[in-house]
C-alpha cells in the first residue's frame, strides 16, 4: 500500500506532503512492462501526481499531469483522484536510452526537454483548470517546481525518487513536496532552507528505509511540524465497459460505422491498466442509433 502523509509547520506557513509510492511503482512496472528508464519516468510522475491530486478538495475532483518532452517514451500521462489514487500510461513504455556514464538511468534523456508539462484539474466546474509550462529539464521534479512557480505562484520544492535493485526490481519509491504558503516568516524560510541543505537526496532517504512521516517531520524540524493526516493510496484504474463505450462513441459516427462494418468484434484496450473490452458489431450499430 502506498502511503501519503501531510505535515504542517506550527505557524501554518510550510506544508510538506510525503509519499511512499513503492507499491504504485511496482504496479506500473508490472502493468506496462516498461523498461527501467520509462518505469523511473512514469514512477516519478505518478508519485508527483498522487501528491498533487491529494491537494484537491472534493470527491470526484481529478488531476491529470501530462508531459510531452519529445523523447523516446512519448507522452506520459498520470491521473490522480482527490485521495491520491493514481493511474498512468506512456506513449512508448518500451523506450530505451543508454544509462549515463555514472550508471544512473537517463530519465531526462528518455522524456526529452523539448516540450511542455500540462496540469488539468477537473473540479466539477464547467471548464477544467488547465496550466501549462515549458519543460525545464524533463527530469520531472524540477519541472513540477517550475509549474507551481509559474502557473500557480506557489514556491514549491519537489523531490521524487525511485530506487532500483541489481536486477532492475523496484526497491523503493517515494517523494515529497513542500509548499510555502504566505504569510510565512523569514525565520521559517531560513530554517526550511537549512533543513533542505542538510537533507540527503531522496533516493538515499528511501534507500535508508525512511518512512514518509519521518521525511515530512525532518523537512519541518525546528518549525514545530506536526502530522496533519495520513492515509493509503494505490494504483487504481477506474475504467469500465460503459466508459469505454463512451470513448468509442466520441470517435464519431463515420468511424463507428466503419468499425462495425469491417469487423465482427472491436477490441478496445485500456492504456492505463491493459484491460480489454470487446464490442460486437451489433453493439456498435446500436451505438450509432443513440
Site residues (vs Zn ion, CB under 5 A):
237, 239, 270, 272-273, 275
Q: Residue 6 or residue 32: which is nearer to Zn ion going by CB?
A: 32
* Three cell numbers written together for 171: 526497491
Q: Which residues lie closer than 8 Å to 289 by C-beta, 6 or more apart?
A: none
Q: Residue 120 or residue 273: which is nearer to Zn ion going by CB?
A: 273
Dist CA 80 CA 75 (whole Å): 17
Instruction: Provide the minimum distance between the beta carbon of 274 and Zn ion in the complex, in angstroms, as a whole number.
Output: 7
Dist CA 202 CA 49 (whole Å): 17
Instruction: Provide the minimum distance between the beta carbon of 115 and Zn ion in the complex, in angstroms, as a whole number.
Output: 25
* Three cell numbers written together for 27: 504496479
Q: Residue 6 or residue 87: which is nearer to Zn ion going by CB?
A: 87
Max Cα distance, the chain (Å):
70
Q: Residue 133 or residue 268: which is nearer to Zn ion going by CB?
A: 268
Query: In terms of DSSP bridges, do strands 226-233 and 62-68 run parallel, antiparallel, or are they unpaired?
Result: unpaired
Contact criterion met (CB below 8 Å) for 30 and 22: no
Q: Residue 89 or residue 107: which is nearer to Zn ion going by CB?
A: 89
Contact criterion met (CB below 8 Å) for 87 and 79: yes
Contact criterion met (CB below 8 Å) for 116 and 133: yes
Using the 8-state DSSP alphabet, how is residue 12 labeled?
Answer: S
Instruction: Provide the minimum distance between the beta carbon of 171 and Zn ion in the complex, in angstroms, as a whole number.
Output: 27
Q: Residue 164 or residue 272: which is nearer to Zn ion going by CB?
A: 272
* Three cell numbers written together for 174: 517515494
Q: Residue 156 or residue 266: which is nearer to Zn ion going by CB?
A: 266
Instruction: Provide the minimum distance between the beta carbon of 185 and Zn ion in the complex, in angstroms, as a whole number.
Output: 46
Instruction: Provide the minimum distance between the beta carbon of 89 and Zn ion in the complex, in angstroms, as a whole number.
Output: 9
Dist CA 258 CA 249 (whole Å): 13
Q: What are phi and psi of 210, to 5 degrees?
A: -70, 130
Looking at 130-280, list the stretches that DSSP marks H as alpha helix, in order from N- to C-terminal side.
Answer: 141-151, 186-198, 202-207, 212-219, 241-249, 253-262
Dist CA 128 CA 122 (whole Å): 5
Instruction: Provide the minimum distance between the beta carbon of 100 and Zn ion in the complex, in angstroms, as a whole number.
Output: 34
Q: Residue 148 or residue 272: which is nearer to Zn ion going by CB?
A: 272
Instruction: Provide the minimum distance between the beta carbon of 64 and Zn ion in the complex, in angstroms, as a whole number.
Output: 15
With helix as H, strand as E and coil as C, how does 199-214 read?
CCCHHHHHHCCCCHHH
Instruction: Provide the minimum distance between the beta carbon of 66 and Zn ion in the complex, in angstroms, as a whole number.
Output: 17
Cell 495520513 locates to 230
Amino acid at each position: 500500500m502506498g502511503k501519503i502523509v501531510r505535515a504542517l509547520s506550527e505557524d501554518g506557513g510550510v506544508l510538506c506532503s510525503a509519499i511512499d509510492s513503492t507499491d504504485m511503482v511496482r504496479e506500473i512496472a508490472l502493468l506496462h512492462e516498461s523498461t527501467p528508464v520509462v518505469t523511473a519516468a512514469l514512477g516519478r510522475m505518478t508519485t508527483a501526481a498522487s501528491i498533487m491530486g491529494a491537494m484537491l478538495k472534493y470527491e470526484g475532483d481529478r488531476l491529470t499531469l501530462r508531459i510531452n518532452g519529445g523523447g523516446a517514451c512519448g507522452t506520459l500521462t498520470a491521473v490522480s483522484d482527490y485521495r491520491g489514487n493514481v493511474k498512468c500510461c506512456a506513449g512508448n513504455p518500451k523506450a530505451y536510452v543508454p544509462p549515463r556514464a555514472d550508471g544512473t538511468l537517463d530519465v531526462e534523456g528518455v522524456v526529452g526537454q523539448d516540450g511542455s508539462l500540462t496540469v488539468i484539474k477537473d473540479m466539477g466546474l464547467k471548464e477544467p483548470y488547465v496550466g501549462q509550462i515549458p519543460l525545464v529539464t524533463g527530469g520531472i521534479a524540477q519541472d513540477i517546481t517550475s509549474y507551481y512557480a509559474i502557473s500557480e505562484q506557489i514556491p514549491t520544492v519537489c523531490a521524487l525518487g525511485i530506487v532500483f535493485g541489481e536486477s532492475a526490481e523496484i526497491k523503493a519509491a517515494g517523494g515529497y513536496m513542500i509548499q510555502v504558503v504566505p504569510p510565512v516568516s523569514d525565520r521559517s524560510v531560513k530554517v526550511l532552507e537549512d533543513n533542505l541543505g542538510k537533507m540527503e537526496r531522496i533516493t538515499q532517504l528511501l534507500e535508508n528505509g525512511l518512512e514518509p512521516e519521518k521525511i515530512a517531520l525532518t523537512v519541518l524540524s525546528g518549525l514545530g511540524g506536526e502530522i496533519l493526516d495520513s492515509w493509503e493510496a494505490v494504483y487504481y484504474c477506474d475504467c469500465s465497459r460503459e466508459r469505454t463505450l463512451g470513448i468509442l462513441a466520441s470517435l464519431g459516427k463515420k468511424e463507428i460505422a466503419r468499425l462495425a462494418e469491417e469487423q465482427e468484434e472491436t477490441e478496445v484496450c485500456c492504456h492505463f491498466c491493459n484491460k480489454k473490452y470487446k464490442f460486437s458489431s451489433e453493439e456498435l450499430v446500436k451505438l450509432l442509433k443513440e
